[in-house]
Amino acid sequence: MVEDKKKTTAKKSLAKKSTTKKTTAKVAGAKKNAATKKIEKAPILVDIPRMKKIYTDEVVPVLKKEFGYKNPMQVPMIKKIVVNIGIGEALDSNSALNAANNDLMKITGQKPKQNRAKVSIANFKLREGSVIGTSVTLRGKRMWQFYDRLVNIALPRVRDFRGIKRSGFDGRGNYSLGMRDQSTFPEIDYNEIDKMRGLQIILVNSANSDEEGMRLFELLGMPFIKLED
C-alpha cells in the first residue's frame, strides 16, 4: 500500500510539472505574437524630398487645371538632371580631372563618369578616346534634393543675380543652364579649389512643349527673369 501511494504522488507531481510547462510555453508564445503584432502595426516612415512633396501637393493640381490634363500621368515632371564639367586641360594634366571629379562628387553626392572624345580633331590636338569632361546623371531622391539646393541656395548666391534667362529651352521643354564656377554651391570650399570651372546643368522633363516645361519650373521655384508687362 505504501508503494502504491508513492507511485500515485509521483504521477501527480509529474502531471503538475507538465501542466506548468505547457502554461509557461503558452504565455511565452502569446507574448511573442503580441510583440510581432506591435511591430507589424508600427508606421513605416518614408523620407520624401521636400521639393517632390511640393510637386505632388501643389504643382500637379495647378498644371492639371491650366493645361486641362485628364490623366495624372500627362502632367509634366522632372525625369533626370545631368550635371557636367568640360575639362580641356585634362589632355595635359591628370590633376585637373581629379579636381573636377572631386568637385562634382561633392556637389551631387554621386560618383561622376568620364566623358571621352568620339572623334579625333588635329587642330585641337584631340585624339579619339581622350577624356574631355566628367558628368553625373541624377534621378529619384538625389535629383529632387539637388534641384532644391540649386534653386534655393546655389542660384541666389551668384553675384549680381537677377534671374535666369528663358531662352534655354530646346523646344521640347528641357532646359539647359550654365554656371560660371562651382563655388556657388555650399558644398565647395573656396579655399580648396584649384581653378574656377564652369558647369552645365540640363533639366530633362516629360513636357511636350517649352510652355509646359517653363510653367513646371516656375511652379517649382525656378527664378526666371520676370517678363515685362
At 5 the pLDDT is 47
Look at residue 21 and tell me whether its pLDDT is greater than 90: no
Confidence of residue 91 (pLDDT cuts 50, 70, 90): low
At 179 the pLDDT is 86
The end-to-end CA distance of the chain, in Å, is 116
CA distance 81 to 75: 18
* Helices and strands of the chain, counted as H and E runs: 6, 5
CA distance 105 to 121: 29
Query: Across all residues in the chain, what is the average pLDDT?
Result: 79
Which residue matches cell numbers 485628364?
Answer: 70
Q: Which CATH superfamily is domain 50-219 in?
A: Ribosomal protein L5 (3.30.1440.10)
DSSP string, 71-133: SGGGS--EEEEEEEEE-GGGGT-HHHHHHHHHHHHHHHSS--EEEE-SS-BGGGTB-TT-EEE
Look at residue 190 and tell me whether its pLDDT is greater than 90: no
Q: Is 142 helix (H, G, I), strand (E, B) or coil?
A: helix
At 217 the pLDDT is 93
Provide, rounded to the nearest whole percent, the portion of the chain with pLDDT above 70.
70
- Least Cα distance to 172 among 204, 201, 202 occurs for 204
- Least Cα distance to 107 among 24, 185, 14 occurs for 185
At 113 the pLDDT is 86
Look at residue 78 and tell me whether its pLDDT is greater than 90: yes
Look at residue 222 and tell me whether its pLDDT is greater than 70: yes
DSSP string, 160-189: T---B-S--B-SSS-EEEEES-GGGSTTS-
Look at residue 17 and tell me whether its pLDDT is greater than 60: no
Look at residue 40 and tell me whether its pLDDT is greater than 70: no
Domain residue spans in the chain?
A: 50-219
Look at residue 205 and tell me whether its pLDDT is greater than 50: yes
Using one digit for the tens of pLDDT, what is the confidence trace for 138-189? Answer: 999 999 999 999 999 999 888 888 888 888 898 888 999 988 888 888 888 8
Q: Which residue has the higher pLDDT, 24 or 156?
A: 156
Look at residue 70 and tell me whether its pLDDT is greater than 70: yes
- Least confident piece of the model among 56-65, 72-81, 125-134, 216-225: 125-134
